[in-house]
Amino acid sequence: MRDDAATQTRPVNLILLGPPGAGKGTQARMLEEGFGLIQLSTGDLLRGAVAAGTEAGLAAKAVMDRGDLVSDEIVLAVLKERLAQPDVAAGIILDGFPRTAGQAAALDDLMAERGQQIDAVISLAVEDEAMVARVAGRYTCASCGEGYHDQFKQPAVAGVCDKCGGTQMKRRPDDNAETVRTRLNAYHADTAPLIDYYAARGTLTEIDAMSDIGEVRAGMAAIVGKLTSA
Ligand code: AP5
Ligand code: MG
């Protein structure tokens, strides 16, 4: 992926669309490394707000633990705060945003205000049943956030992060089979319609995200590489 970075000539703004477990976070982190883009995960921003005990975090926690969608108002507030930081000028990967028609319309306005555009929307196509196993087996490094999986992506040395050497791993409170099913339902009801919304604009590319992580990564790198060198 480092070679791809050498060819980058302009920042691009991407959206990764996909249900829980599709690999949005896994792929966003790889694109971040390979292309110097900034991952903006509204899930991570909300979990940060919960951990910090902010008003937004307090309001979001119970909703997230149930697997329902947090209100557009709260999500937009945390996203706008993050977008005010200068590093986003490098180009962004929106991971888990937008998730509703209201959020998509608000993003259009935000981009227009910034004199920018979304260059590509990548939809990660997966099968629901496989997502339950993916999410239930997931854990991350508590120090650097690198993601792992009991079955699909283990660190080279058990319990030791490949990236930073950290030895504390953690699991998300919403990563259980029951909550994943609620999250999948929310995806199909509110987020999947955005596939047509972006297809109608000609910005949508679908990628088969049922193949292994490396293959998905290669497909992503091909799409983003074309954009950054265009
Ligand atoms: P969020 O944190 O965004 O969770 P999510 O959308 O449910 O998605 P996940 O993070 O579970 O999955 P992922 O696609 O990132 O998969 P990953 O790469 O980790 O949101 C959490 C909650 O916050 C929501 O439920 C909601 O309450 C709230 N929220 C957030 N944004 C919101 C918004 N915009 N509006 C309203 N509410 C919002 O991969 C999963 C596992 O599978 C990993 O272990 C990985 O190693 C493995 N894996 C990845 N790819 C593959 C592969 N190709 N093959 C095999 N294994 C793989
Ligand atoms: Mg994620």
Residue tagged active-site, from 24, 61, 134, 217 = 24
Q: Is ligand 1 within 6 A of the CB of residue 43?
A: yes
153 flagged as catalytic: no
55-66 helix and 42-52 helix, angle to the nearest 10 degrees: 120
Distance (Å) from CA 80 to ligand 1 centroid: 21
| pTM of the predicted model as reported, rounded to 2 decimal places | 0.93
Q: How confident is the model at residue 9 (pLDDT cuts 50, 70, 90)?
A: low
183 flagged as catalytic: yes
Q: Is ligand 1 within 6 A of the CB of residue 102?
A: no
Left, alpha or beta for 153 (phi > 0: left; psi -120 to 50: alpha)? beta
Q: Is ligand 1 within 6 A of the CB of residue 204?
A: no
Which of 138, 146, 220 to mutate to test ligand 1, by most ligand atoms within 8 A of the CB atom?
138
Contact 45, 82 (CB under 8 A): yes
- Tell me the HSE value of 77 on the side-chain side, using a 13 A CA sphere: 13
Question: pLDDT digit string (tens) for 59-111?
Answer: 999 999 999 999 999 999 999 999 999 999 999 999 999 999 999 999 999 99
Q: Which atom of ligand 1 is nearest to the CA of 103?
A: 34
Question: pLDDT digit string (tens) for 103-144?
Answer: 999 999 999 999 999 999 999 999 999 999 999 999 999 999
d(CA 169, CA 144): 10
The separation between CA 61 and the C-alpha centre of its own chain, rounded to angstroms, equals: 19
Which of 16, 152, 184, 216 to mutate to test ligand 1, by most ligand atoms within 8 A of the CB atom?
152
Unique residue bearing structure tokens 């490094």: 141
24 flagged as catalytic: yes
